[in-house]
């Protein structure tokens, strides 16, 4: 389930590729953040040595930039979306046409999985909805 990209989104993906060499496949823009989904194996290129590329993009956009590597399965993509938190498991339940994802983490990883002001789980919810039609994500 891929989202339709606007002309501005395509321009942002082209900018990512020109500046970093990483192949972007999706972008989500919020008031405070730009989130790029990049091809498998391209996260390192997008981030750059010492986060150099991300810092440069953040200066250009005037907002925070995040990078998530794509994956073929919902479970693998969820692991990528929650990085650097280490997930114990990803469980998908479908009820009445709704696809819900339950993320299990150790107590020591819970804060990382939620993120400051809930940013990590918000990012994961948006990306999992766009890419896999997930209606809700919960950390258990």
Asked if pLDDT for residue 110 goes beyond 70, the answer is: yes
Pairwise CA distance, residues 4 & 6, whole Å = 7
Give me the chain's average pLDDT, please: 95
pLDDT in tens, 40-97: 999 999 999 999 999 999 999 999 999 999 999 999 999 999 999 999 999 999 989 8
Q: Fold for 74-139, please state it.
A: GMP Synthetase; Chain A, domain 3 (3.30.300)
Write out the H or E segment, with its range, that includes residue 15: helix 7-20
Q: What is the pLDDT of residue 1?
A: 53
CATH code assigned to 7-69:
3.30.300.20
Ordered by start, the domain boundaries in the chain are 7-69, 74-139
Q: Cα Rg for the chain, rounded, in angstroms?
A: 15
Please give the model's pTM, rounded to 2 decimal places.
0.91
Give me 112's structure tokens.
Answer: 């990382």
φ, ψ of residue 42 in degrees (nearest 5): -105, 0
Asked if pLDDT for residue 2 goes beyond 80, the answer is: no
| 7-69 against 74-139: fold identical | yes
Give me 92's structure tokens.
Answer: 């998908």
Residue 8: HSE in the Cβ half-sphere, 13 Å Cα cutoff: 4
């Amino acid at each position: 389930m891929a989202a339709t990209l606007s002309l501005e989104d395509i321009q942002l993906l082209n900018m990512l590729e020109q500046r970093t060499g990483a192949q972007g496949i999706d972008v989500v823009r919020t008031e405070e953040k730009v989130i790029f989904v990049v091809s498998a194996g391209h996260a390192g290129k997008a981030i750059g040595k010492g986060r150099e590329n991300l810092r440069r993009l953040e200066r250009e956009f005037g907002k925070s930039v995040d990078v998530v590597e794509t994956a073929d399965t919902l479970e693998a993509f969820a692991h990528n979306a929650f990085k650097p938190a280490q997930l114990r498991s990803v469980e998908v339940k479908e009820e009445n046409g709704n696809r819900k994802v339950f993320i299990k983490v150790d107590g020591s990883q819970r804060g990382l999985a939620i993120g400051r002001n809930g940013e990590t789980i918000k990012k994961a919810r948006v990306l999992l909805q766009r890419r896999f039609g997930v209606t809700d994500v919960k950390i258990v």
